[in-house]
Amino acid sequence: MLSIATINVQNKYKIKNYNGTNHGDNHIQMLLDLINKYHIEILGLQEVNYKYKEQLEKKLGGSFTYYGKFRYPLNCITKNIYPFSVFNESVPIITNQEVLDKETQVLPWISSYVPRIVTIMKIKTKEVGTIVVLNTHLDYLKNGTKVKQLKKLLNIIQKISWPIILMGDFNMTVKNKDFLSFIDTLKDLNIKHVDINEATFKYSKTPRAIDHIFLSNCFNVEKVLLDKNPAYLTFSDHYPVILKLSLGFDRK
């Protein structure tokens, strides 16, 4: 069984120097508690700022690999000067499995002003062998920009020969015709969309997910979980999405 998750940890940019703690709430400890509770082996995060990253890496320990570049190159300006310091987020992948390769690619973003990226990690898992995990956070303003970003993701995926896990905050629901087209195109590549059938954004007006996970058909989904623990009220404005996977017979 392989346990994976995607969690938008909410960059609380209105809180000056937000580093994962606020008013006595330790959001990084909450994240570690989730990892331990569900024995998460592969985790994709979104909206991780630099100070949050620093604290999280300190707490993770040596059994986990943390990787994810930022939207802008890290320097004095992007670490310390508003607005770069506030909006310079990353979409890291964290795993306790063997990492074979890793990279960050930029997605189309110019028309929406804020860079968007995808983190890609090649992993050798104990349960299913070598896989490639992609984690991203798409634009939230312009649908046309999202479509361009989906096309870039598709271009990347088409060049990968290993089983794939694609996860992240897509800022799109299954009611979006362009997103449905993306789902159908991935089906032709033997990659399926996991039906979550619940709102993953806490303040959503519709019962539909904007956080999504796609899997190569060689994976069987044994369980889909949304952790709605009220103790995590301040943790994020998204619900953590956790999957338990097993390996099927089709590795095409």
Q: How much is the pLDDT for 177? A: 98
Please give, one letter per residue, the 3-state secondary structure of the chain.
Answer: CEEEEEEECCCCCCCCCCCCEECCEEHHHHHHHHHHHHCCCEEEEECECHHHHHHHHHHHCCCCEEECCECCCCCHHHHHCCCHHHHCCECCEEECCEEEEEEEEEECCHHHCCCEEEEEEEEEECCCEEEEEEEEECCCCCHHHHHHHHHHHHHHHHCCCCCEEEEEECCCCCCCHHHHHHHHHHHHCCEEECCCCCCCECCCCCCCCCEEEEEECCEEEEEEEECCCHHHCCCCCECCEEEEEEECCCCC
Q: Which residues contact 34 (CB under 8 A, 6 or more apart)?
A: 5, 7, 40, 227, 240, 242
Inter-CA distances, 81 with 62, 96, 208, Å: 31, 34, 36
Please state, in angstroms and rounded to a whole number, the distance separating the CA atoms of residues 244 and 42.
11
Give the pLDDT of the chain (252 residues) as one tens digit per residue.
899 999 999 999 888 889 999 888 999 999 999 999 999 999 999 999 999 999 999 999 889 999 999 999 999 888 888 878 888 999 999 999 999 999 999 999 988 878 999 999 999 998 889 999 999 999 999 999 999 999 999 999 999 999 999 999 999 999 999 999 999 999 999 999 999 999 999 999 999 999 999 999 999 999 999 999 998 989 999 999 999 999 875 444
Which tens digits make up the pLDDT trace of 96-143? Answer: 999 999 999 999 998 887 899 999 999 999 888 999 999 999 999 999
Strands 241-247, 211-216: parallel, antiparallel or unpaired by DSSP?
unpaired
Return phi, psi of residue 151, to 5°. -65, -40
Please state, in angstroms and rounded to a whole number, the distance separating the CA atoms of residues 88 and 110.
15
Neighbours of 25 (CB within 10 A): 14
Q: How much is the pLDDT for 132? A: 98
